[in-house]
Chain A
Amino acid sequence: MSTAAETITGAPAEKGRSLWIDAGLRLKRNRAAVTAAVILAFMTVLVVVGPWFSPYEYDFTDWDRILIPPDIASGHLFGTDGIGRDIFVRTLFGGRISLVVGLVATIVSLVIGIAYGATAGYLGGRVDHIMMRIVDILYAMPFMFFVILLMVLFGRNIVLIFVAIGAINWLDMARIVRGQTLSLKRKEFVEAAEALGVRPFRIIRRHIVPNLLGVVVVYVTLTIPQVILVESFLSFLGLGVQEPMTSWGALVNEGAQEMESAPWTLVFPAVFLATTLFCFNFIGDGLRDALDPKDR
């Protein structure tokens, strides 16, 4: 498509570097973040397709090989647990759960946080005051206790985990988004939209939210590991997903009980969990540096 400049001068217009291209270039130069992204991509693929290539099901009990160390010959790459289940497959299955919980709960907190923060920030005044006061009040709650309570009292189902974790993680998001919105709404393009008579919620949706994405992306990469951590914490306490399904937290818990005689039951899930969290944190850090206008 030809631009106005092109039609006038006949020469192709200078292509501007957008914020995102710029950030992408800066990110590529950050070796730690790129390595983390590659490892994470590899782990995700492994977790998703790996179980299809394994000779064992996640709930299959190999009665002849109970609590054996890693062994290539029998196909138990990571060994088996106390009731003869293949740790390799279980680790990958646990990874599916952990990653899905991480993604879904983050999206839940994202949606609530953006809607709440953008509304408070854009409307301002008394509405903003009351909405942020509510966030302040909720912020001081020991939420982990409520999540534990929820899981204990209302049974352990996975939907509840999503909702509970998502519901406690939106507070930070709301605060960050509100701060950004406060500065965005003074910008000319918002004023122009207001002058044209666009209604508030349409302005929030079309003009405010898209401009929040930079901050949001950084925050998402830092929220996912937090959420995975909370889920594993719950599973570790025996309050997360239910047997025979599993997650990394639950596997670490089982492994911790067998570690004296069979350290491999602890080590493999622990390494997977830690590596994932490590990668997400590195990517988040890298993105923050890449998108930070101060360092430019």
Chain B
Amino acid sequence: MLAYAFKRFIGALPTLFVLIALAFFMIRAAPGGPFDAERALPAEIEANLRAAYHLDEPLVQQFGRYLADLVRGDFGPSFQYKDYTVTELIMTGFPVSLRLGGLAMALAVVVGVAVGSLAALRQNSWIDHAVMSVSMTGISIPNFVMAPILILVFAILLGWLPAGGLGDGSPQNLVLPVISLALPQIAYISRLTRGSMIEVLRSNFVRTARAKGLSERTVIVRHALKPALLPVISYLGPTTAALVTGSVVIEQIFGVPGLGRYFVQGALNRDYTLVMGVIVFYGVLIVVFNLLVDLMYALLDPRVKY
């Protein structure tokens, strides 16, 4: 198992390298620089600044320097937020994003699996049709459309929940952002669970379990649920990616001070190191999470040999 995990991790290294290289050279190829301001700096000051940040070196050398720093866990200083390192900025933004994304993920999995299983157990009943129609609606309404509508209804018309910001950090501030982030994922996961559950319920081992006279509850919970969850587990990788990108918009709409906002702002300001930092950080996060999902899959599915 450990050897397999190690092998998979080594396999993920090229992905990370391509990710970092792509981001690095794309940013550098873009017109404009971090020291473009409304008032042009005197040439010699700008030259000094560029030298201080090693921006005067050949690009490949800069890339090597960046990689070397990265291996030591150093994302470099931010160009825009003076006196802050990128690591410090990420560490202020990430806990907020993590709380948002983690809650949304938990909500999506729990509700999605429950609703999907329910629909599968009552296949072709009105419950099934209702669940499927609602989830299709959930897939079709993007989260950036859902979010303003939720704000309109629950914050402005009904006044039950705050419309944005984190306030004093109390839970009700997170309700609307988490729900808007989770809804499309709930829709996907419930459809996925329904499909695989229906297939599993038709399989021979479930028939055997029923033939043995086990109660319906035991058949479902002990025998059917685990194999039915496998597609959901392999979907967790894409879910993470979707939640991460979705949070960029959701954080913007609700004014939540997370990592997503740094990304868009950083790109607009040509804050090379900050943008790189966020991309690399999220890239590593997604790659590692995909790795964990694969390992979990291998653990749960007895047919998978590693």
A residues at B contact (CB < 8 Å): 136-138, 140-142, 144-146, 148-150, 152-154, 225, 229, 232-233, 236-237, 249, 252-253, 255-256, 259-260, 263, 266, 270, 273-275, 277-278, 281-282, 285
Is the pair B249, A149 in contact by a Cβ cutoff of 8 Å?
A: no
Give CA–CA (A285, B137) in the complex, Å. 13
Is the pair B26, A266 in contact by a Cβ cutoff of 8 Å?
A: no
Is the pair A273, B142 in contact by a Cβ cutoff of 8 Å?
A: yes
User: Chain B: which residue is nearest A152 at the CB level?
Assistant: B267
Give CA–CA (A277, B156) in the complex, Å. 27
Indicate whether B166 reaches chain A with its CB closer than 8 angstroms. no
Is the pair B249, A237 in contact by a Cβ cutoff of 8 Å?
A: yes
A281-B140 CB under 8 A given contacts A141-B22, A146-B26, A252-B148: yes
Is the pair B14, A142 in contact by a Cβ cutoff of 8 Å?
A: no
Indicate whether B66 reaches chain A with its CB closer than 8 angstroms. no
A277-B141 CB under 8 A given contacts A141-B283, A266-B152: yes
Is the pair B137, A153 in contact by a Cβ cutoff of 8 Å?
A: no
Is the pair B18, A149 in contact by a Cβ cutoff of 8 Å?
A: no
Q: 14 extra interchain contacts, Cβ-Cβ under 8 A, other than A277-B142, A281-B136?
A: A137-B14, A140-B287, A140-B290, A141-B22, A146-B23, A148-B264, A149-B26, A149-B275, A153-B29, A233-B144, A236-B144, A259-B156, A266-B148, A274-B141
A277-B140 CB under 8 A given contacts A142-B283, A145-B279, A256-B148: yes
Is the pair A278, B148 in contact by a Cβ cutoff of 8 Å?
A: no
Q: How far is the CB of A104 from chain B (nearest CB, A)?
A: 20
Q: How far is the CB of B247 from chain A (nearest CB, A)?
A: 11
> Which residues of chain B come closer than 8 Å to A136, judged between CB atoms?
15
> Which residues of chain B come closer than 8 Å to A144, judged between CB atoms?
241, 245, 248
Give CA–CA (A152, B274) in the complex, Å. 14
Is the pair B145, A252 in contact by a Cβ cutoff of 8 Å?
A: yes
Q: How far is the CB of A278 from chain B (nearest CB, A)?
A: 4
User: Chain B: which residue is nearest A145 at the CB level?
Assistant: B279
Indicate whether B111 reaches chain A with its CB closer than 8 angstroms. no
User: Chain A: which residue is nearest B268 at the CB level?
Assistant: A152
Is the pair A145, B282 in contact by a Cβ cutoff of 8 Å?
A: yes
Is the pair A137, B18 in contact by a Cβ cutoff of 8 Å?
A: yes
Q: How far is the CB of B248 from chain A (nearest CB, A)?
A: 7
> Which residues of chain A come closer than 8 Å to B253, judged between CB atoms?
256
Give CA–CA (A144, B142) in the complex, Å. 15
Is the pair A270, B140 in contact by a Cβ cutoff of 8 Å?
A: no
Is the pair A237, B156 in contact by a Cβ cutoff of 8 Å?
A: no
Q: How far is the CB of B68 from chain A (nearest CB, A)?
A: 22
Is the pair A232, B142 in contact by a Cβ cutoff of 8 Å?
A: yes
Is the pair A148, B267 in contact by a Cβ cutoff of 8 Å?
A: yes
Q: How far is the CB of B59 from chain A (nearest CB, A)?
A: 15
Which one of A148, A232, A249, A253 contacts B248 once the chains associate, using CB atoms below 8 Å? A148
- Interfacial residues of chain B within 231-263, with CB under 8 A of chain A in the complex: 241, 244-245, 248-249, 252-253, 263
Which one of B136, B245, B268 contacts A142 once the chains associate, using CB atoms below 8 Å? B245
Which one of B18, B29, B152 contacts A141 once the chains associate, using CB atoms below 8 Å? B18
